[in-house]
Structure 1
Amino acid sequence: MTDLTPSARHFQEVLDGIGLGHRVVEHSDSTRTSEDAAAAIGCTVAQIAKSLIFRGKESGRPVLVIASGVNRVDEKAVGRLIGEKIERADPGFVREKTGYAIGGVPPIGHAEPPLVLIDADLAVLETIWAAAGTPNAVFRLTPAELVSMTGGRVETVRKG
């Protein structure tokens, strides 16, 4: 763990608190995009669980949508699911609400707990990979573990 950058090490401590044995893996190449992450890991783009932060338009509350790397999020559908329109969050909002920079936002351990929706397309996969605190760090988990650790609702959130 000593070879991890401070942000990845902090997230490893979050994972250690859960106690399921998940390990943060930091790559020399960027895993910021789903395609980059899949190439670095050696998995399919669909197995990348990308964490996207939105802002509730009226409440200002952070909304985390964890989507399969191959899917685009249907923002109108997400708004209907949560009962409030959403808007894209700027980098400052993401950093303030999560404690992490865009490209490295993990599914848990946020400064302010968000409302969480999980892409139903992830649920059919055996294993998935999610960001782990930096644009170069990821960790492996199952869809069931993702639901359990986030308390998120599994919904259809993809466009099309």
Structure 2
Amino acid sequence: MDNTDLQQYIGRAGVSAGILNMKGRVHSVAAASRELGLPPDHFIKTLVFIGQREALILAIVKGTDRVSSKRISSALDIAPPRLATPGEAIELTGYEVGGTPPVSIPNAKVLIDPNVMAMDEVVGGGGTDHHLLRISPSEILRVTKGQVVRVRK
């Protein structure tokens, strides 16, 4: 997948979100923060985990937070999942690490940290390292049918 796939998904699924085209690379929260001039805690990151039986799990946290695999384990009542390698992330989601959007990834169990839900609007991966996605956390929850649970350390 790429940015075009994400744009098509947003239109097809009726997602209320906007894709931001960036001049520089925005492959990390720090880079995105510099590029947009927003504080790092305004951003989210979508981390790809692999659970039992190769289950795909997306953990969405604020850009300044870290994910706890133990908290994911408790939330889903499974053995602790492992963070996907960059190659696995592309294979499983179609997106490179740093560009993974919080929406448009089928068959993923989505866990959204409550700190994310406390925000009105967030900016996250937009499908490539030159795009960002502006979206409300409530829209992420609605579209993904995710679960709000603490996954940050």
Is the TM-score greater than 0.5? yes
Q: How many residues in Structure 1 have an aligned counterpart in Structure 2?
A: 152
Matched, 1:123 2:121: no
Q: Alpha-carbon deviation of 1:20?
A: 4.1
In the TM superposition, 1:1-160 aligns within 5 A as 7-56=2-51, 58-84=52-78, 85-110=80-105, 112-159=106-153
Structure 2 regions of 5+ residues with no counterpart?
none
Higher alpha-carbon deviation: 15-24 or 130-139: 15-24
Structure 1: tracts of 5 or more residues without a match: 1-5
User: 8 Å contact 1:16–1:22 — kept in the other structure?
Assistant: no
Q: C-alpha root-mean-square deviation of aligned residues, in Å?
A: 1.5
Q: d(CA) in 2 for partners of 1:99 and 1:64?
A: 13
In structure 2, the CA distance between the partners of 1:100 and 1:20, relative to structure 1 (3 Å rule), is closer
* Cα shift at 1:95: 1.1
CA deviations on 1:53-72 (whole Å, 9 max, x unpaired) are 0110x321111001100101
Q: Percent identity?
A: 26
Corresponding letter in the other structure for 1:118: I
Q: Which residue of 2 aligns with 1:3?
A: none
Is the 2:17–2:133 contact (alpha carbons within 8 Å) kept by the matching residues of 1? yes
Q: Secondary structure of the equivalent of 1:24?
A: strand
CA distance in 1 between partners of 2:56 and 2:18 (Å): 26
Q: Work out which structure has the larger RCO, using CA pairs closer than 8 Å and 6 or more positions apart in sequence.
A: 2
